């Protein structure tokens, strides 16, 4: 990609680039260390307050009763609203990444080909004079 500056990157190429980079750096030890640092596995009680643990357990209990109370139609409507909300918050790649501006290619002005001719010879001089006469006639017609 660095050799093709300004080339459009499709969504498939972004996924490919991310996957290559992620696979190079990811491994199980790093994932486990990430969970350990966050305190979520094995559960490190020093990382979390008791209020937070109590709040999550009460949420788990209330979400189970809430799921039973919802009808299938309400579930479908709520998921479609969530999808719409996610789509409304989409961010353009141009807002995140500075896209380099390519210089506009300079267009050459087409110059008219002019052939050199020796007009001292009679046949060439006659042809040249005929062309000049036709040009003058065209200009007078306009």
- Please tell me whether residue 43 adopts helix, strand or coil conformation: strand
**Is the model's pTM score more than 0.75?**
no
Q: Are 70 and 79 in contact (CB under 8 A)?
A: no
pLDDT in tens, the chain (142 residues): 667 778 888 888 888 887 777 777 777 777 777 777 776 666 666 766 666 656 566 655 555 554 554 445 444 545 555 555 555 667 777 777 787 787 887 877 777 776 776 666 677 788 888 999 999 999 998 7
What are the domain boundaries of the chain? 11-96
- Please tell me whether residue 16 adopts helix, strand or coil conformation: helix
Which pLDDT value is given to residue 74?
Answer: 47
Which pLDDT value is given to residue 133?
Answer: 94
- Please tell me whether residue 40 adopts helix, strand or coil conformation: strand
Which pLDDT value is given to residue 95?
Answer: 77
Q: Are 127 and 121 in contact (CB under 8 A)?
A: no
- Please tell me whether residue 57 adopts helix, strand or coil conformation: helix
* Residue found under tokens 């002005």: 109
- DSSP 8-state symbol, 42: T
């Amino acid at each position: 990609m660095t050799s093709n500056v300004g080339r459009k990157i499709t969504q498939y190429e972004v996924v490919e680039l991310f996957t290559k980079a992620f696979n190079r750096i990811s491994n199980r030890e790093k994932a486990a260390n990430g969970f350990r640092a966050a305190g979520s596995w094995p559960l490190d009680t020093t990382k979390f307050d008791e209020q937070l643990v109590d709040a999550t357990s009460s949420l788990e209990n209330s979400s189970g009763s809430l799921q039973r109370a919802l009808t299938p139609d309400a579930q479908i409507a709520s998921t479609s609203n969530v999808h719409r909300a996610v789509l409304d918050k989409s961010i353009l790649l141009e807002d995140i990444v500075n896209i380099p501006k390519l210089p506009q290619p300079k267009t050459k002005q087409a110059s008219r080909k002019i052939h050199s001719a020796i007009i001292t010879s009679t046949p060439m001089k006659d042809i040249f004079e005929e062309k000049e006469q036709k040009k003058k006639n065209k200009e007078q017609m306009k």
